[in-house]
Structure formats: C-alpha cells, structure tokens
Structure 1
Amino acid sequence: MPFVKTQDGTEIFYKDWGTGQPLVFHHGWPLSGDDWDAQMMFFLSKGYRVIAHDRRGHGRSSQTDSGNEMDTYAADVAALAAHLDLKDAVHIGHSTGGGEVTRYVARHGGNGRVAKAVLIGAVPPVMVKSDANPGGLPLEVFDGFRAALVANRAQFYVDVPAGPFYGFNRPGAKVSQGVIDNWWRQGMAGGIKAHYDCIKAFSETDFTEDLKAIEVPTLVMHGDDDQIVPIADSALLSVKLLKKGTLKVYPGLPHGMCTTHPDTINADLLAFIQS
C-alpha cells in the first residue's frame, strides 16, 4: 500500500488515483480517507487526480502517540505534497480536515502548490469558548468527548454517527445503518491515543491568523443544521477573515452533508474548482 514516511518516522497512508489537476481531500475526526468515497469517485469520473490520506493516528497510518496536533498535521500534508510533487492542487477539508487545510495552505501552500481551498463544516477559526470567542462551545463539551472516548470508544463511535453527525437524530431523518457502520469502521481503525489528542487539536487550535494569511480563493461550505460545528461560530466568522472567501450555506443540512447529500456538494465543488 502507498505510504509516505515523515521526518519522525510516521507512515502516512494515501490513495492517489487518476490524472489531471490534483484534488486533495482531508477527512474529519476520527475518520479516514475513506470518508471521501462519494467525492473521490465523482471527481475521478470528471478527469481529476484525486488524493486522500489518512491523518496520523487515523485509518491505516501509524498509530502515533505524538505529533497529534495541527502543526504536525500540516507538516505531514506538506511531506505528502512534496512526495507526490503536487502543483496547482485544490485542498478540500471537512471538519478537522478543514483546520488541517487552513494551516497547511497558510504555512506550506506557496510555490504554486495550491490553487484553491475548500472548507466544509470546518472547525476554524476556533471552536472552544473563551473571552475572545464567547460564541464557542464550552470546554466541558470537549472534556465530555474525551471521557466518552476513554470509557467506551466503540459505543461512542456508534452514538456520534447515529445521532448528531449526520442529523439522524432529527425528526423524519432518513437513517442509513450502513453509513453509521462505516463511520464506526473508520473510527475504530485508528488509535485511541491519537484520537484523544486530536480532540484538543480540533477544538482549541486558533486558526485566525492562518485564515488571514491564505491568498488563494477559498470556498466555505456549511450546513445551517450542523450540530457538531455550529455555523455561527465557524463558517460565518471564517469567511470574514479570508482575503478571497466565498460562503455557501446549506439550509437544513448536517455536519456530514458530503455523505448525506453528495450530489449537491459535488456539483458545487465542481463549479468552484472550474471557476
């Protein structure tokens, strides 16, 4: 299987299919590159080169006990981009992956490597509540995530997709057991220590200066019924910090809208990439 080895010896698994302009997909917590199946197949059919990696500690990559924070995540992506010699790439990140894209593009995206960026249901600017971010979620919410993870990771990884992640807890929702099981499968493939550390990375990292530093056109996509990353303290703030930001809000759609509504998301992604 294809891996790139980073400076600290971590092996990052990746999929690299097709030819043409490269599209790099960055997954959310605690998933893997498999979460992008619907996008990978669609854009492959449209003649693009599609790449998805498993973040360190996730999926098929090394189950790391260190480096599970945004600076290292971004450096890992830079190692992958150098290994594959990516140029004029579009980096597309969901949730935690949106934070990874933000830091990578801000710090490593020069020299023609990055053409555009997309943030979908993404965690920037910062999730946790503070005096500087009064609209954020209280730290106790994320402490609860950590406690649930340690107490019974397998059950927690059923409860999240069966409930708020895909909006399956909403009245009248069309629930897919296969989608829930696939979320569980991806999550359980990773390492609990890396997943535990990543909760701090996605909730407490402040991406404000990264957003301000991004020079390329950036599309911010967010469902207004996102129960995992509430839109008011994420997308609505991020787009104001971006030099070339465009916001697209999806009424009633959940956090996992790339999976629940792929036709809608793929069409809008294609339009932005081609614009």
Structure 2
Amino acid sequence: MPFFQVSDGTRLSYEDYGAGAPVVFVSSWALHADMWEYQVPFFLEHGFRCVLLDRRGHGRSDRPSSGYDVNTRSDDLAALIEHLNLWDITLVAHSAGGGEAARYLSRHGEERVSRVAFLASTVPFLKRTEDNPEGLPEAGLEATLAQFRKDRPKWFADRAQGYFATHLGNDVSPALVENEVRRCLSAAPFAAAEVFRSTFHEDFRPDLRQVTVPALIVHGVADQSALIDVTGRRTRKLIPHAVYREYPTAGHGLYVTHAEQLNADILAFVNSYDGSDVDES
C-alpha cells in the first residue's frame, strides 16, 4: 500500500492500478478506497488507470488532529495528483467527495482535469441561510452530530437500509450492508465528525459556477442522505452544460445498487469527452 506525505506531515494512503488515462476516485464521507470495488475492475478492463485516495482520518491514512476543512482536503487531492504527475484526469467523486472535487477545480485549476463526475454529491450548499432557503437547518446538523457522538455504530446501522434504498427492491445482502457499515466505522470518529460539519457549512455554489470541463451529475431520486432537491437538481442548474442522470430507484449507495448502470453511464460520458450527450432526467 503506497503512501505519500503532504505539507503538514500527514501521510496519506492511495492505490494506483493499471495504465491509460487516469480516473481519480474521490470517496464518500466516512468511506475509503475500498468503496469503489464495483468500479475499479470495470474501468481497468476498459483500459483506464484507476487512482484512489484515502482522505486524512479515513482508511489507512494518518489521523491528524487538523486539516478536515474542505480547502485542506482539496489540497490533499491536489498533492496526490501532483505526486503521481497525472494529466487528462477524469475525477469521479461521491457524496462529500463532490465538494472536494469542486473545490480542487476552483482552487487548483482545470489544467490537469479533462472531466468530472459528481455522484450523489452533497453540493452545492447544505446549510439554510437567508440566500439559501432551500438548505437544511443548523439545528438538524447539531442533532445529527449529537446522535453520532452518543452511539456511532447505531447511527450508521439505523441508516443503512435507507442508504441503499432496499425498500425499493434493491437487492443488497445483509452481509454487504454490514460490511459497508464496518467501513464507515473505520474512519476516525473525530475526523468523520469534522468532515461532516465542514461539508454542511461550505458553500460550493461559486466553485460549481466555475466548472468549464465536461461534467456528469448522477443522483438517486430516493437518496435520503443527500436529498435530490437540495443537491443534485440544484447542482444541475449551476453547471448547465452538464450531462444529468436521475436514477428513480437509487439511494445514496448507488455505486453498489446501480453499479452496472452507473459504470456504463460514466464510461459513455468519458468516451463522449465533450459532454455533448443529451440529458435524460
């Protein structure tokens, strides 16, 4: 398992497979590189190089006491890209990773990135403010974090079925659900709470308005973790040139439940290159 060191001394774990044009996978909050087990083999078989990062406090990376703000996390992503000298990148980001990808593009530029895919991403802005009335109340965040601190395993377990939208017939075994909860619990509790908090408070609307590379937005209509009216549909309006896909029966865990469809949509998007595909809402 390779590691590299960023400017504050934190050692970050990453995985690097294959050759060809690189696909850089940016993981969800509380998850790490292993979450992409249904995507990596597919893209390797189609001739791509797959690069995956464990963000700080997650997976096998160091657990420092600081650096969980979005700017630092996007800088960590930039450091990996520069460490491997990657170009012609497709960024594929899930959930909170979408904010890190958006901030990377606005903070470090699009020179190395050819296209970006936002999957069930928690952008553009979750917090309710005067100029963001569609957002969620601050009290909801604090209540969630209080539950999280009281019984973190229960918090994840209570949300697991909704995460995969199993009530809509998605076939996910109890063993798989348990495995994904275990992966979430592997994140440092402090890191998980800080990333959750910073993602809630961060306004990504200016970042998304600056995206000029081809973009793909995929969101599940049944997503209980990132409500589509607060996230995916609003992101579409901020990136009007994006290819947009809604999966009617998908929840937040669409990378598992709809892996075949998702992989095909990402591949078609990558191959189209210019993002000229027709929207299919």
Q: Give the TM-score, by structure 1 length.
A: 0.95
1:40-93, CA deviations, whole angstroms, 9 ceiling, x for partnerless residues? 111011110001111111111111221101100100000000000000000010
Please list, as runs of the form range in 1=range in 2, the aligned pairs for 1:61-140 lying within 5 A after superposition: 61-111=61-111, 113-140=112-139
Amino acid at match of 2:120: G
Q: State the match for 2:27 in structure 1.
A: 27
Q: CA deviation at 1:181?
A: 1.7
User: Does structure 2 conserve the Cα–Cα contact (< 8 Å) formed by 1:223 and 1:251?
Assistant: yes
Q: State the match for 1:216 in structure 2.
A: 213
Q: State the match for 1:234 in structure 2.
A: 231
Quote the Cα distance in structure 2 between the aligned partners of 1:225 and 1:172: 12
Quote the Cα distance in structure 1 between the aligned partners of 2:190 and 2:77: 20
RMSD over aligned CA atoms reads 1.4
Amino acid at match of 2:164: Y
Q: State the match for 2:47 in structure 1.
A: 47
Q: State the match for 1:177 in structure 2.
A: 174
**1:11 has 2:11 as partner:** yes
Quote the Cα distance in structure 1 between the aligned partners of 2:136 and 2:162: 15
What SS does the corresponding residue of 1:233 show, helix, strand or coil? coil
Q: Summarize the Cα distance change of 1:92–1:172 in structure 2 as closer, same or farther, 3 Å threshold.
A: closer
User: Does structure 1 conserve the Cα–Cα contact (< 8 Å) formed by 2:220 and 2:254?
Assistant: yes
1:180-205, CA deviations, whole angstroms, 9 ceiling, x for partnerless residues? 12222212222111111011122111
Q: CA deviation at 1:172?
A: 4.5
Quote the Cα distance in structure 1 between the aligned partners of 2:98 and 2:110: 18
Quote the Cα distance in structure 1 between the aligned partners of 2:108 and 2:255: 26
Q: CA deviation at 1:175?
A: 3.9
What SS does the corresponding residue of 1:200 show, helix, strand or coil? helix
What SS does the corresponding residue of 2:19 show, helix, strand or coil? coil
What SS does the corresponding residue of 1:107 show, helix, strand or coil? helix
Quote the Cα distance in structure 2 between the aligned partners of 1:14 and 1:59: 10
Gaps of 5+ in 2: 273-281
Q: Give the TM-score, by structure 2 length.
A: 0.93
Quote the Cα distance in structure 1 between the aligned partners of 2:23 and 2:221: 26
Q: State the match for 1:36 in structure 2.
A: 36
1:80-114, CA deviations, whole angstroms, 9 ceiling, x for partnerless residues? 00000000000010100111111112221333x10
User: Does structure 2 conserve the Cα–Cα contact (< 8 Å) formed by 1:59 and 1:187?
Assistant: no
Q: Summarize the Cα distance change of 1:155–1:68 in structure 2 as closer, same or farther, 3 Å threshold.
A: same
Gaps of 5+ in 1: none
**1:56 has 2:53 as partner:** no
What SS does the corresponding residue of 2:40 show, helix, strand or coil? helix
What SS does the corresponding residue of 1:248 show, helix, strand or coil? strand
Q: Which moved more, 1:9-18 or 1:100-109?
A: 100-109
Amino acid at match of 1:253: A
- The number of aligned residues is 272
Q: Which moved more, 1:139-148 or 1:217-226?
A: 139-148
Q: State the match for 2:143 in structure 1.
A: 144
Q: Which moved more, 1:81-90 or 1:101-110?
A: 101-110
Quote the Cα distance in structure 2 between the aligned partners of 1:197 and 1:102: 19
1:137-188, CA deviations, whole angstroms, 9 ceiling, x for partnerless residues? 2222222221122112222222222x321113x2645342122122222122
Q: State the match for 2:164 in structure 1.
A: 166
Q: Summarize the Cα distance change of 1:153–1:134 in structure 2 as closer, same or farther, 3 Å threshold.
A: same
What SS does the corresponding residue of 1:24 show, helix, strand or coil? strand
